[in-house]
Chain A
Amino acid sequence: MTVINENHIRNFCIIAHIDHGKSTLADRIIEMTGLLTSREMQAQVLDNMDLERERGITIKAQTVRTVYKALDGEEYIFNLIDTPGHVDFNYEVSRSLAACDGAILIVDAAQGVEAQTLANVYMAFDHDLEVIPVINKIDLPSAEPERVKAEIEDIIGLDASEAPLISAKTGQNVREVLEQVVHKLPAPQGDADAPLKALIFDSLYDSYKGVIMFCRFFDGKVRPGMMIRMMATGVEAEVVEIGYFGAGQFIPCDELSAGMVGYITASLKNVKDTRVGDTVTESERPCGKALPGYKKINPMVYCGMYPADSAKYTDLRDALEKLQLNDASLQFEPETSAALGFGFRCGFLGLLHLEIIEERLEREYDQELITTAPSVIYKIYRTNGEVSDLTNPSNMPDPSEIDHMEEPMVSAEIMVTSEFIGPIMDLCQERRGVYQSMEYIEKTRALLKYEMPLNEIIYDFFDALKSRSRGYASFDYEMKEYVRSDLVKLDILINKEEVDALSFILHASTAYERGRKMCEKLKNEIPRQLFEVPIQAAIGGRVIARETVKALRKDVLAKCYGGDITRKRKLLEKQKEGKKRMRQFGSVEIPQKAFMAVLKLDDE
């Protein structure tokens, strides 16, 4: 490989509101720069997680290096970082931005500037990135590029007069975007002869190579065989392999230097040795000051995650550690539940994040999980003047010690077609939403705004929203302040014993209804046992709802099978196997799915 002049490198990302076409534009850029032929293109090359393709969203920021032959005849190296659009993954975006010098801002020609457009563009400004606006989806009949241009100028304050009007889908005008990347975005700055200074902006774990660190090199250079040091953890290691990112693959090379983006492996097997946000330098010639790194981000939603098979606790811990390497916003710490044994209390940026982590643990790490009801962070003001955060309902102090409690509010925006406005407003009402406003975006589409408690949307709000709008409503929310609220802890007693994993905190006004539904649902989920099992919902020891699982009356294996005892044994083994999927709680066996089923109570 010839020496690369850093003037010919462009490190940039694409930022946008969800669904405005980031991944599609990334695909076009990859295709047009000749990295892959269109025949090799699988739609959304960078969304390589199955989960991303299925859901049509980007979860993980992805990096790819391509070579672009510009109209001036020169070749440029593009390091393109595709970023997630959903609010839950803002943290991913912010990490990626630190590796870039510029950003392409995509705005949908029909929808215009949206909440995440703003959030992402401000984040880019915070990182001192040069931003070029691009208006996408101009092939849509409802496209209004002029209005959107005006919006970009008025709301964001970016000059949009030269913004390319493109269709990432058809490829129309995408070349203009590439030319603007060359001419409007800055080349990286940095001193290749200075001591190595590289930022780890992402990482993942590979069972052969160990930790793979994704780095942006600000100063110096790195070669295989060099000793490096992580400045925050102090860990030193010898570089085994370095390289850059092809589409969905790692391409090794001999040297990476200031201005570039690439990866380093150093046979690091311990996932704790490398931290995203840390600075990598040379052991022999360390750089003076570490890069600023990242702000630690605070989770909004918590839930307990337990291995379905309690013997697999350490497997789950390993899986969480490896996943955390790839998703630094995931937080977890060990906890114990009387019902579920050893597990972890995990913190997430939001509900989608929770769901994604759960699915990734199951698919990528083969973990069978039981998750407990998600909880927000409540503030408890005790009578003795102390204030504390509560993330696990089981830790709620005795009501006599509580002066009052506060819960977090969100401002929710729901986009819905006009025929479903009624049902959706009912839903928001049921979930203690306070109506703010409604505006018609188009003739048949309205934007509803509600102030709602976060705890009302973390259970099954998405599902309810989808089922009541036949899938047509979309939803986004933004955190607001904490407000004082009349909250109680609802306990579930099975066979007169409290099951800690089923406790949760809710508004007093909804306790009866929810308690009743929980009991009903559990009655259907818990198979009949050898004796009658009462299921009760209680608040502070007062029972507010009750159901009973009747005793099993008859279960006789009568037939003789002509001496085929093996068959008889197999039937008994099957029966016993079924019990393994249950959690023994006192003398009652509770199936794992019961813990999950109670999370979805909004049945129509």
Chain B
Amino acid sequence: MKEKLSLYVHIPFCVRKCRYCDFLSWPAEEEEQERYTAGLVCEIRSLEAAAGRFLVDTLFIGGGTPSLLSEACMEKILEQLHRTFEFEAGAECTVEANPGTLTVSKLSAYRRMGISRLSLGLQSASDRELALLGRIHTWQDFLNQFRTARQNGWNNINVDLMSGIPGQTADSWRETLESVCDLHPEHISAYSLILEPGTELWRLYGDGEGSSGDTRRNDRGCIGELPPLPDEETERSMYRMTRNILSSHGYKQYEISNYCLDDFSCRHNIGYWTGKSYLGLGVGASSYLDGVRFQNPAAIDDYRKACRADRSLIPPDGRESQTGYIVTEICDRKAHMEEFMFLGLRMTEGVSEQSFQDTFGQNIHDVYGPVISRFVSYGMMQQSGGRISLTERGIDVSNQILAEFLLN
């Protein structure tokens, strides 16, 4: 039987860099996009030999803004993917789209190409907040595209939302949530804004106290003409509000930032958290195969060079010579255990004691007993039905908890 595999395809282009964005993306002319597409097709083709052992069950085309690509480019990519890889019937295939770049024609084309899931980057229903984030679309643009997609037959749509935006209030966040819920998308991802070094917002709001784990950053308040970042208390109430409002509309939280109706959870993302194999295609894309984490080069020239030849994947021993990949981590048993925990605990159903036992041949409590009981005693973790998970309070401070699952 063939191995299940998730594919990630990175499209590094956007109309304009959003002010919070630290992903690998940049504005580019059509010609550059075509050149990139050609390179990507080359890369996929170069994996012809390696692809034979896999059966693809999820595909995620992310960015950047994949919807920026012309239909022709997208078609070439999809065509090559299907030529090189075998796809499972009913595979989950997602494309990310920016409402400012979508057209009716693109929407129909994606469906024709076998894409079944649409992920729309909205972030906020407030045009003022959208402008502050540097988004290229308005709430109305989004609304139009959403409705067009529905009319077009898209029945699995995700909407990305963001809390903690400068100037955002609990009321405006509520407004965003309610407005989106009224549209009944099948899936909602609600992230908190994180100021990342190198972004425009980082420059504008300073680096706070520095590390991403430092929540005092938000005490900085208003700088110059800019609206202040919501304080920590407001941010937390927004987080609680997200849970309450979404659940009142029938959404269930299945991961720290992800909510869905019925069983519309994102299988691709769940793959990341459950240690499933995935292969990243495109510049800087990350892969995880046979216990090794590796990446394509993040510089476009290096990337092009890397995928010219008949390409082999990284072997389990992590030898990267001739592959063109950069190995970031060879997961030993300890690293596996750590990932099992810090990824698994992101999901509301948590981790299964039995599955830990099956995977590692060791009782989870022999390894993590003291940490688990400490956080259970703090009311931040819970154990029931053979599963261990974070409580709501635990999710609030999940970083602090997950870090404790790194072994010494």
Contact = CB atoms under 8 A, between A and B. Distances in A.
Interface in A265-308: none
Contacts of A555: 213, 215, 396-400
B360 interface: no
Contacts of A364: none
B278 A563 contact: yes
A556 B272 contact: no
B285 A569 contact: no
Interface stretch (A97-105, A331-339, A472-480, A570-578): A570-578
A588 to B, nearest CB: 13
B399 A563 contact: no
A118 B212 CA distance: 59
B78 to A, nearest CB: 19
A566 B318 CA distance: 15
Contacts of A528: 215-216
Given A552-B397, A555-B215, A563-B280, A569 B232 contact: no
A603 interface: no
A557 interface: yes
B400 A560 contact: no
Given A531-B378, A571-B213, A554 B235 contact: yes
A558 B257 contact: yes
Contacts of A560: 257, 269, 272
Interface string B272-303: 10000010100001111000010100000000
- Chain A, interface size category, equals 20 to 34
B329 A556 contact: no
B16 to A, nearest CB: 20
B194 interface: yes
B265 to A, nearest CB: 14
A554 B380 CA distance: 12
A530 B400 contact: yes
B62 A562 contact: yes
A312 interface: no
Nearest to B393: A530
B8 interface: yes
Contacts of A562: 8, 10, 23, 62, 280, 285-286
Contacts of B236: 553-554
Contacts, number: 118
Interface in B1-31: 8, 10, 23
B313 to A, nearest CB: 15
A578 B214 CA distance: 11
Given A560-B272, A563-B288, A574-B213, A553 B396 contact: yes
Given A554-B235, A566-B293, A571-B213, A576 B406 contact: yes
A579 interface: yes
Given A559-B191, A572-B342, A565 B272 contact: yes
A530 B380 contact: yes
Given A556-B398, A565-B339, A572 B406 contact: yes
A564 interface: yes
Contacts of A559: 191, 194
Given A554-B232, A565-B272, A530 B378 contact: yes
B402 interface: yes
A570 B232 CA distance: 24
B123 to A, nearest CB: 13
B233 interface: yes
B397 to A, nearest CB: 5
A559 B10 CA distance: 16
B293 A565 contact: yes
Contacts of B395: 556
A83 B329 CA distance: 57
A572 B403 contact: yes
Interface in B41-86: 62
Nearest to B346: A557
Interface string A573-587: 111101100000000
A552 B286 contact: no
A565 B288 contact: yes
B8 A563 contact: yes
B288 A530 contact: no
A491 B232 CA distance: 32
A589 to B, nearest CB: 10
Contacts of B338: 569
A51 B216 CA distance: 37
Interface string B287-331: 110000101000000000000000000000000000000001100
B339 A569 contact: yes
Nearest to A566: B328
Nearest to A556: B398
A409 B236 CA distance: 55
A528 B236 CA distance: 15
Contacts of A561: 286
Nearest to B63: A562
B396 A556 contact: yes
Interface in A315-362: none
A572 B287 CA distance: 20
Given A553-B232, A556-B395, A565-B272, 4 more contacts: A562-B280, A562-B286, A574-B213, A575-B399
28 contacts: A528-B216, A530-B378, A530-B400, A552-B400, A553-B215, A553-B232, A554-B192, A554-B396, A556-B256, A556-B257, A557-B194, A557-B212, A557-B402, A558-B192, A559-B194, A560-B269, A560-B272, A562-B8, A562-B62, A563-B287, A565-B272, A565-B293, A566-B286, A568-B342, A569-B335, A569-B339, A575-B211, A575-B213
Interface of B: 8, 10, 23, 62, 191-192, 194, 211-213, 215-216, 232-233, 235-236, 239, 256-257, 269, 272, 278, 280, 285-288, 293, 295, 328-329, 335, 338-339, 342-343, 378, 380, 395-400, 402-404, 406
Q: Which 9 pairs, one residue from A and one from B, show the smallest C-beta to C-beta distance?
A: A566-B328, A575-B403, A554-B236, A555-B399, A558-B191, A564-B286, A576-B403, A572-B403, A553-B236
